[in-house]
Copies of this chain bind each other. A is one copy, B any other.
Amino acid sequence: MTTDVDGDTTELSRPARRQAEIAAYVVKHGSVSANDLVEAFGVSVMTVHRDLDELERQGVVRKYRGGVSAQPTSVFESNVAYRLNTAHAEKAAIARHARAMIEPGMSVMLDDSTSALALVDLFEDIAPLTVATNFLPAITKLAQLRDVTLLALGGIYSATHDSFGGMPCAEAVEALHADLLFCSVSAVSSTHAFHQEEEIVLVKRAMLRSARTKVLLVDHAKLQRTALHRLAPLTDFDVVIVDEKTPKDLIEPLRDHGATVEVAKL
């Protein structure tokens, strides 16, 4: 694995990756024409349009005759950043580590993060289990599993996150109380967890209130960054799990501020 700054471009389907790259290109250039993209990416104009349609559906760009323009960066960040930023191996490691905390019969809540999604793949063996989530891909997977009671948290669908949110979702969360919560955020400073979008923060906060044990899943790319909204202090989480690639000198500050940090091996 050639790890590098934003490397690990694998584990993403070709069109998905191209779309993410196109999104980045558009954001960088502000606004471009379809033909520019044809040249830049070496695909037909038809394909470019299809990609742009998809990106528009997700709210990342705006199409108009003659080209496209970028949307507010917050949207871009929570979409593309999360798509490009795979860190697949790390997330799997974190998931394996988190798994040890789960025992058969427990009720588990998951938020809309790829980190949480990695956990789902491990659930088959821990059954029986009750799982509550608002993340559509997770819901789809869990519906297949025997011995897992799936509790879908409904709400308003967001194409950007592929999950449900808003007030209906927050209310659904509030009606529950899970043994365990696994969630992730887009940025983590030495004291707090952050996220760009208010909508999402709303739901995550509700989840924090509705779980006994709260676990924050953090791959190293998230550390030492911030975003618009402060979600919660790290001390609100019972455990913060980071991956092995996290530099030691980034972990220390967290512990100094009172957080319980565990490092997922391999």
Contacts and interface: CB of A to CB of B under 8 A. Distances in A.
Interface of A: 56-57, 134, 136, 139-140, 142-143, 146, 149-157, 159, 162, 164, 168-169, 171-172, 175-176
A57 B146 contact: yes
Contact of A151 (B139, B168, B176): B168
Contacts of A171: 171-172, 175
- Top 5 closest A-B pairs, CB basis? A154-B154, A150-B157, A152-B154, A153-B154, A57-B146
B140 A152 contact: no
Given A136-B143, A168-B175, A157 B152 contact: yes
A127 to B, nearest CB: 12
B140 A140 contact: yes
**Main SS at interface, chain A:** mixed
Contact of A156 (B139, B140, B151): B151
A29 B143 CA distance: 29
A143 B159 contact: yes
A140 to B, nearest CB: 7
B156 A149 contact: yes
A162 B151 CA distance: 12
Contacts of A154: 134, 151-155, 164, 169, 172
Contact of A152 (B56, B152, B159): B152
A142 B168 contact: no
Contacts of A151: 154-157, 168
A187 to B, nearest CB: 27
A238 to B, nearest CB: 25
B159 A168 contact: no
A168 B157 contact: no
Nearest to A147: B57
Contacts of A150: 156-157
A172 B170 CA distance: 11
Contacts of A146: 56-57
A139 B152 CA distance: 12
Contacts of A149: 156-157
A234 to B, nearest CB: 29
30 contacts: A56-B146, A57-B146, A134-B154, A136-B139, A136-B140, A136-B143, A140-B140, A143-B157, A143-B159, A149-B157, A150-B157, A151-B155, A151-B156, A151-B168, A152-B152, A152-B154, A152-B157, A152-B164, A153-B154, A154-B154, A154-B155, A154-B164, A154-B169, A154-B172, A168-B172, A168-B175, A171-B171, A171-B172, A171-B175, A172-B172
